[in-house]
Chain A
Amino acid sequence: MSKRQDRLETVLWSGWGLLVVIYALIPVLWILSLSLKQPADLNDQRFFPARISFDNYRAVFEDAQFPAALWNSFGIALLATGLSIVLAMFAAYAIVRLRFAGKRLVLAGVLAISMFPPVSIIGPLFNLWRIIGLYDTWAGLIIPYMTFTLPLSIWTLSAFFREIPWDLDKAARVDGATPFQAFLHVIAPLAAPGVFTAAILVFIFAWNDFLFATSLTSTNDARTVPAAIAFFTGSSQFEQPTGSIAAASVVVTVPIIVIVLLFQRRIVAGLTAGAVKG
């Protein structure tokens, strides 16, 4: 390997890297630019806006639909995340730390659920929710989100829990800690990064869902952002809602970009922990 070759390769790889950055950012920039265009410029077919206006954002937030959907999305995604993580923590602890006959069964079940097609149960859930009054409520979405993210969180947490030197709590006990103190001061800090990582992934899933949101909600009471955006109508019947859709899209993409920027390392670790380390 020569030095010149080295340098050439560096340049080459950097070139490819730049291409990847462009690849990832184009739709984001495009939707941002659409959202900043004036209504009259929407059809100018230009990638960047000629004149910048914030009218679309004003319109989106003045309409009752979008702020409600945003509130629903945050609330439902956060609650579903919390529940999923708590249940998954119990299960993952048992899977990693305890011996029991049904372990394989639980793991197989988890695997099966991760492949389960959600569309197969929207009918029954729709019917069931209508009967027991969960249709178009937060709980009606939280329950399926929690369930469908359990495999993801159980896997991710198991992968992280396996790496924890559990014997450290024995050391803490020897050092004079009560079982609770040992958990609080030794095990919990070690487990926290994994729990946090799993929570990010679950949140992204719940934040992203469209199928359940369209099937199991009908009004601003529980409709989340993806469903709301898909059903946006213009302020008047004849107006194309493109600008509003773009503005709303930007608003909901910003949290994701912030999460990605802040927690890049964790997300990558979490995504790959469950799948490869096993």
Chain B
Amino acid sequence: MSKQATAWECIELIRHKDRPTAADYIPMIFEDFIELHGDRCYGDDAAILGGIAKFDRKPVTVIAQLKGRNLEENKKSNFAMPHPEGYRKALRLMKQAEKFGRPVICLVDTPGAFCGIGAEERGQHEAVAKNLMEMMRLRVPVVSLVMGEGGSGGALALAVCDHLAMMQNAVYSVISPRGFASILWKDASREKEAANLIRITAKDLVELGVCDGVIAEPSGGAHKNPALTAEAIGTYLHHVLPKLIEKPIDNLLQTRYIKFRKIGVFQE
């Protein structure tokens, strides 16, 4: 593994036009992926790609935020910014996984939940909130991997889990550095300064007790060797998943609650 890049270097790497997306990774990590569509309420959100696949010869549910590899694909997937129906599709697939007792693997990669008229009308706030609550008590193991961008509540809505790992160059933050600079300093151009200040890298999040593990990327970033990166992700999952599956479910849920319960810095 190469040395941890600065937050700004990470942002440049994850914005690289050749950065692999969920659509690249899924066939390399899983077998027999079958995509399933729709939230059964309103529509199908292409910003979230979900379905069933096999991992280590056993069925799993895979839910991913989908960035496009070009403008055409990005228009379709809304640059991986889900609408409420995307989060509701994700939750539907999680409840399906719960029914059939298969683990859920979430690949997080979003600038954030979409901000727009339709998103508000259809209750973006409620869709995110519902996912947080239901994922906390979902009776199957959940592993979330931050692949590139972990943008605020829109990322967290796929990241309430038993184990959170981040790609070496991924970032995960409460607000984008640009938004941070714009709101707190009234100056969006100080984005780079904000990025390096607000602690968003995988290393930062391990230190802050949020992230449980880091998956190495090839020198120069994941796009230098997508196949090797996919292999590293597969190896990582192979290491983590069986331990979670073995645990009695009530024990797993209690540990999941405590994992988030203990995050917070204050004095009595």
Question: Is the pairing of A and B real?
Answer: no
Which B residues fall within an 8 A CB radius of A? none
Which A residues fall within an 8 A CB radius of B? none
